[in-house]
Amino acid sequence: MDLFEYQGKQYFARFDIPVSPGGVADTVDAAVAQSEKIGYPVVIKAQVQIGGRGKAGGIKLANNAEETRFHAQNILGMDIRGHIVRRLWIEKASDIKREYYASFTLDRSAKKYLGLLSAKGGIDIEQVAKEDPEAIARIHVDPVEGLSTDICRKWVEAAKLDPEAHDGAVDILLKLYRCYTQGDADLVEINPLILTPAGKVHALDAKVTLDDSAAERHPEWDEYRGLEQLEERERLAKEKDLQYVALSGSVGIIANGAGLAMSTVDIVNQVGGSPANFLDIGGGANAQVMINALTVINTDPAVKAIFINIFGGITRCDEVAKGIVEAMSRVELRAPIIARLDGTNADQGRMILKENESARLIMMPDMLSAAKRAVEIAGA
């Protein structure tokens, strides 16, 4: 689960990471009231779950009520790359001497945590990684050993932060590490982490992704739920208990099991196509689940072919086949289906599809030929 900046800062504050005092506002009047309470100058910040708000005009400095009113008016309702601003975070403006970058995430292949630190923060870190990779100091942290003060200090030196920022940076990074591990996050990122002219190190932005698998340990996360900005289709999928991730291509994908769904995404790419989504209908998928899945995919206007890839284990192929046929009678699908069924009750399933085969429902004998066919149709 992704947090908004203001929630991320509240999360940081629990771990004693220094952030600016501030408050949220959903209206222009509330923005003015917050600004008066905080004291000028303040920064008005669009709360959307996407970066680059500064460049998009979603972050403005205000020196008085009139300026707050003006900026809040402009920013509320603003569309930042498809994300509509519904809420503002207003905080005490900071003086900035330098902008750094810091983050922790998981490096799955190394089976360790990965810390990134750079003296070139504030701007696109992806761009820094591409143009000046040396400017990012990386460390791997063994989860069992943890992060020691010593190693953290060497890391800060390697990143070439200004000497006066060293103590403050070490302190924040150790706290950020605690936030990442004890706070059960998948990602914590501070960009920019700033050095003030007074020599203080401070988090000016917050990006936190919580690990949903740890939700059981954190009843307090409930307050974040319902505020998430999901796309309409993702919301529909969530309502129907489907594991759906939107992608940008033209081949809709339905598979049972996350592993098979990922392989299906891969094979579509491999044969030159582009997946429109990842959708895992899970084990034990029945006819209703297939109807739900097709309903969700059908709301995506980019979909030109729907590749259904099922390997029956607990899931029975005849059930899936019934679901496909029933869905086709109930929902007017925008794209033809290319189906591959294998595993439990595959023969019965194929028989059901065979009786209903048409240009809108194509059966293929294996995964590769089905992928090729789907991409051929989507590309045409």
Which residues inside 177-236 make contact with ligand GDP, applying CB under 6 A?
191-192, 204-205
**Toward ligand GDP, which CB reaches closer, 67 or 205?**
205
CA–CA separation, 11 vs 138, rounded Å? 24
CB of 171 to ligand GDP, least distance (A): 20
CB–CB of 333/356 below 8 Å? Answer: no
Nearest Cα to 57, choosing from 46, 47, 43?
A: 46
Smallest separation (angstroms) from ligand GDP to the CB of 50? 8
43 binds ligand GDP per the rule CB under 6 A:
yes
Q: What does the alpha-carbon distance between residue 207 and residue 203 come to, in Å, rounded to a whole number?
A: 10
Could you say which of Mn ion, ligand GDP, none residue 93 binds, taking C-beta under 5 to 8 angstroms by partner kind? ligand GDP
Candidates 92-100, 130-138, 211-219, 283-291: pick the segment binding ligand GDP (CB under 6 A).
92-100
Q: Does 8 bind ligand GDP (CB under 6 A)?
A: no
Pick from 65, 96, 114, 135 the residue near ligand GDP by CB under 6 A: 96
Count of residues binding ligand GDP (CB under 6 A)?
Answer: 15
Alpha helices for the chain (secondary structure H): 5-14, 28-38, 65-75, 125-131, 149-158, 166-182, 232-239, 258-270, 287-298, 317-330, 346-355, 367-379
Shortest distance, position 201 Cβ to ligand GDP, whole Å: 14
Minimum CB distance to ligand GDP, residue 301 (Å): 29
Q: Judge contact between 164 and 199, C-beta under 8 A.
A: yes
Residues designated as active site: 101, 189
Which of Mn ion, ligand GDP, none is residue 99 near (CB under 5 to 8 Å by kind)? Answer: ligand GDP
- 54 is a contact residue toward ligand GDP (CB under 6 A): yes
Give the count of beta carbons closer than 10 Å to the beta carbon of residue 358.
9
Quick one: DSSP state of residue 229? -
Residue 281 near residue 256 (C-beta atoms within 8 A): yes
- Letter string b/e over residues 14-46, b meaning 16 or more CB atoms within 10 A of that residue's CB: ebebebbebbbbeebebbbbbbeebeebbbbbb
- Residue 191 interacting with Mn ion (CB under 5 A): yes
290 interacts with ligand GDP by CB under 6 A: no
Q: At closest approach, how far in Å is the CB of 207 from ligand GDP?
A: 8
Question: Is residue 263 within 8 Å of residue 238, measured between CB atoms?
Answer: no
Binding to Mn ion, residues 202-231 (CB under 5 A) = 205
Binding site for ligand GDP (CB under 6 A): 43, 51-54, 59, 93-94, 96, 99, 122, 191-192, 204-205
